[in-house]
Chains A and B, each alone.
Chain A
């Protein structure tokens, strides 16, 4: 949908799994859910998180595919593997830094979130983001998301790999990018790391 973007904010997730249930109702993969969901550590806390695909600008899954089966559309959507080409090798499943692609065993095909292509292509919002009761998954205009406490970013660092994505992650307002390595937050490494990234 023109003017709408997808935002993920795990801090809003209440673990209800409405997204998982609703994803099954999506026409392109009815009966199968493409949501990645987890309680972080249920023994320790109630925090949970639900994710769709980030739809990378340069998708790692497609880069590592030996069969050239994974395609990104002009609209930035990274699709499930093309059935005639997919050899079910699991390269994409192993390589995706976000852990998104799913190998469907009976079909021997990698399937993943396509941001409800059947819906977004006809002006409807994706199923998960429409139903999400806490709007941890949200498909809204940027000016709507600007009203939130957290701010969107679509820059991720995984070690030395910098990834930019179509989908945004909500992060604390002062963060411009999301990094997972503690050294990214250390003062003494700051200049050196910045140098390696540029």
Chain B
């Protein structure tokens, strides 16, 4: 049933992506028709959550003005932030609910679309049990909406299966930090970055993915700080690195263990800190013994002297910060990688002090706030565990239900898709998620979608995933609903509503609440607006690790953000964690964790001798649902390119701009080559923002980290060959027809 109803071409013509270049009213009319108001809010894209002022006239966002008073970015914006306003007033915008028809999709009334959604979900649950329906959420939703999604799944539908696209983002670091510290948050605010003596950036392409952080790094260097960058590619910040470690994809753990080995070998550890505030050191020290420099160098491809130097710089400095992102996390040992960072920080006592600490860089807009209050499959509000009897009792009490009514933990995002594929989950309601582009092994995802008996989507544009939907509920953009977010720093911020949703489109939370009422559970969803939801969230999070009880919209506006935990109205918030060396673990201590080396789930071989790694470019965001519709951003980097080193290119007779076929054990992709000396010769890089014939995730594999369940996007095995042009058969395999021929339901 849930195949695309007509060809991709017809859907593209109707729903885009079309390119929006010009602001409402044109470029020239601004002085004649100035903005009626400037709304202080935030960028809708990444986890930096830059402050921005939107210019509004006649219920349309017509431009922006930098917000220089907001302390995090002080007016700075990346190109996505500059052009974010062009997602509004867009020709592709969904203005009413849509129902699948023979001709594609037809407009429907809200009553028809919502009643259909409810009847389909009810029917499936009656026939196959409550867990036959799954919910997908996303980390671009406000904290209120994220909370609402968790409650909706568990209270309105009673299903175990709710998870979100943050499963593709921060969960390895989150799992590691919870194991080590009992809390899932960056340990320091960004204002401390310039104070470090040594800054070690590993697996984080800051220039492209967290551009504003660059200024903090350069200021650290102005203060005399030294920058170490470990990455298979020379990313933009590498231009000023004092030490560059060009490691082989998937070998971060070997590098980190080699560094820990040197620190302990040279006696650079902080014995006093270790003894007073940590547990588990001896076992980790024992495990580091085997990681001598020779072994670490052999595994990583980094010179032993460079590993030694990096370790000594950190070990001998007074203040070291390690910043890490998806490069470490997107591996089948993502949690181990992050634990290895933590182990180095703990061994050297770099935590709880100014200008020191392990620092995860959250990638998605509300990547932090969206993972704190129950949108994850095993979580209740306040970063509580769904398996903790006391947490269940408390939250059930807030919600007015019995603890037994709360389902047990369900599947994670990729596991949900696999359960759909094997027929265990029959229905899916998805918002803020474009899994066809963002999950690994896209052909598998497409097959799974085609097996759904019911697929409902809440979105503002018709994403490639939504092509497979039975019903699409026209939701709201970031600027169309009030709410809070939480930035990579742990700073809770206010997304001010700037305009109303256009046409018949509705606020996302209104849609969810309406569905809950139509499911007969309205008594548990008596919310008139996001502020009502937040009032309940404050109480539901109270006493949890992510305690929001002391946070109000007014305080957030006045203080320009509040760092959680903030347990009471007179609490100032907590910019730096562990100032008192007390951790959120059961014993109050920080825990060393032994890390285990495992090979990649898609190992290189004679047939597939190269590493494939995927990531982002600065002008696009995630699955591109928004940014592939903004003309100026598309022009900046129009098509995915395969980055390869000149020596590899020469072996295959490939020149810059030539077509190249990249083949993995799943599929092949033919795109143009970008021949650059800034990547290891054994590695191919492709950005993943595109769909269909240009989708890098057709090549990636579904191996998950066993604990965080994050896919191993950063390490696949591939081979390359020169091609004469685009692959004419790719369309057939990639889109409508493939789904139809493989369709099972």
Q: Which residues of A contact B (CB under 8 A)?
A: 11-12, 14-18, 20-22, 24-25, 27, 30-31, 42-48, 125, 127, 130-135, 147-149
A125 near B68: Cβ-Cβ < 8 Å: yes
- Cβ of B732 under 8 Å from chain A: no
Q: Are B236 and A46 in contact (CB under 8 A)?
A: yes
Q: Check if B28 sits within 8 Å of A134, measured CB to CB.
A: no
Listed by A's residue number, 29 A-B pairs whose Cβ atoms lie within 8 Å are: A11-B240, A12-B214, A14-B211, A14-B237, A14-B239, A15-B207, A16-B78, A16-B208, A18-B82, A21-B79, A21-B83, A22-B79, A24-B632, A30-B27, A42-B676, A43-B677, A44-B677, A45-B234, A45-B239, A45-B677, A46-B236, A46-B239, A46-B678, A47-B239, A125-B75, A130-B76, A134-B207, A134-B214, A148-B222
- Interfacial chain B residues near A127, Cβ < 8 Å: 66
Chain B residues with Cβ below 8 Å from A24 are 632
> Contact at B234–A21, with CB atoms within 8 Å?
no
- CB of B658 to closest CB in A, whole Å: 13
From B63, B212, B656, B675, contact of A133 by CB (8 A): B212
> At the interface, yes or no: B64 with Cβ under 8 Å from chain A?
yes
CB-CB < 8 A to B633: which residues of A?
A: 21
- Tell whether, in the assembled complex, residue B207 and residue A16 are in contact, meaning their CB atoms are under 8 Å apart: yes
- Chain A nearest CB: distance from B728 CB in Å? 29
Number of B residues with CB within 8 Å of any CB on chain A:
47
Q: Which chain A residue shows the least CB distance to B235? A: A46
Could you tell me if A18 and B239 are in contact, using CB atoms closer than 8 angstroms? no
Tell me if B238 counts as interface (CB < 8 A to partner A).
yes
CA distance A12 to B222 in the complex (A): 11
Of A12, A15, A47, A48, most B-chain CB atoms within 10 Å = A12
Contact A133-B31, Cβ < 8 Å, known A14-B207, A17-B619, A43-B656: no
Nearest B residue to A15, CB-CB: B236
B219: chain A residues at CB < 8 Å are 147
User: Chain A nearest CB: distance from B167 CB in Å?
Assistant: 28
Nearest-neighbour CB distance to chain A for B69, whole angstroms, equals: 12
- B240 proximity list for chain A (CB < 8 A): 11-12
B30, B207, B646: the one contacting A30 at CB < 8 Å is B30
Task: Using A25-B63, A149-B222 as known contacts, say yes or no to A134 and B238 having CB atoms under 8 A apart.
Answer: no
List A contacts of B678 (CB < 8 A).
45-46
Is the contact region of chain A dominated by helix, strand, or loop, or is it mixed? loop
Known: A15-B207, A16-B78, A125-B68. 12 other contacts (CB 8 A): A16-B79, A16-B236, A17-B618, A18-B211, A21-B633, A22-B82, A42-B676, A131-B66, A131-B82, A133-B214, A133-B215, A134-B218
Q: Are A149 and B83 in contact (CB under 8 A)?
A: no
Q: Which 10 A-B pairs have the closest CB atoms?
A: A31-B27, A14-B236, A14-B207, A133-B211, A134-B214, A30-B27, A21-B82, A21-B79, A131-B77, A130-B75
Query: What's the minimum C-beta distance from B20 to chain A, rounded to whole angstroms?
Result: 13
Whether the pair A134, B215 counts as a contact (CB closer than 8 A) is: yes
Cβ of B77 and Cβ of A18 under 8 Å apart? yes
Q: Which of B21-80 contact A (CB under 8 A)?
A: 22, 27-28, 30-31, 63-64, 66, 68, 75-79
Q: Which residues of B contact A135 (CB under 8 A)?
A: 76, 215, 218
Q: A21-B79, A46-B678 are in contact. Are A11 and B211 (CB under 8 A)?
A: no
B677/A25 in contact, CB under 8 A: no
Q: Name the residue on B nearest A127 (C-beta).
A: B66
Of A24, A47, A132, A133, the most chain B CB neighbours within 10 A belong to A133
A24 to B75, CA, bound (A): 16
Complex Cα gap A127–B83 (Å): 13
State the CA gap A45–B63 with chains docked (Å).
Answer: 34
Residue from A31, A131, A149 in contact with B76 in the complex, judged by beta carbons closer than 8 Å: A131
A27 to nearest B CB, angstroms? Answer: 6
- Asked if B636 lies at the interface with its beta carbon under 8 angstroms from chain A, I say yes
Contact with A along B72-109 (1 / 0, CB 8 A): 00011111011100000000000000000000000000
Residues of the A chain whose Cβ atoms lie less than 8 Å from the Cβ of B237: 14
Q: How far is the CB of A107 from chain B (nearest CB, A)?
A: 12
| Docked pose: A18 CA to B75 CA in angstroms | 12
Q: How close is B77's CB to chain A, nearest CB, in angstroms? A: 4
Contacts of A30 in B (CB 8 A): 27-28, 30
Is B373 positioned at the interface, with any CB of A under 8 Å from its CB?
Answer: no
Q: Which residues of B contact A18 (CB under 8 A)?
A: 77-79, 81-82, 211
Assess whether B30 is in contact with A134, with CB atoms less than 8 Å apart: no
Complex-state Cα separation, A16 to B549, whole angstroms: 39
Closest residue to A134 on the B side, CB-wise?
B214
A72-B717 Cα distance, complex, nearest whole Å? 59
List residues of chain A with CB within 8 A of the CB of B236: 14-16, 46, 48
Chain B hits for A130, CB < 8 A? 66, 68, 75-76
B156 to chain A, nearest CB (A): 42
The yes or no answer to B185 lying at the interface (CB within 8 A) is no
Which of B30, B64, B215, B636 is most buried by chain A, counting CB atoms within 10 A of its CB? B215
B543-575 contact mask (Cβ, 8 Å, vs A): 1 or 0: 000000000000000000000000000000000
Contact between B207 and A43 (Cβ–Cβ < 8 Å)?
no
CA distance A46 to B66 in the complex (A): 28
Least CB distance, B334 to chain A, in whole angstroms: 26
Across the interface, name the chain B residue whose C-beta is closest to A20: B79
Contact of B221 with A by CB under 8 A:
yes
Interface string of B189-233 (1 = CB under 8 A from A): 000000000000000000110011011001101110000000000
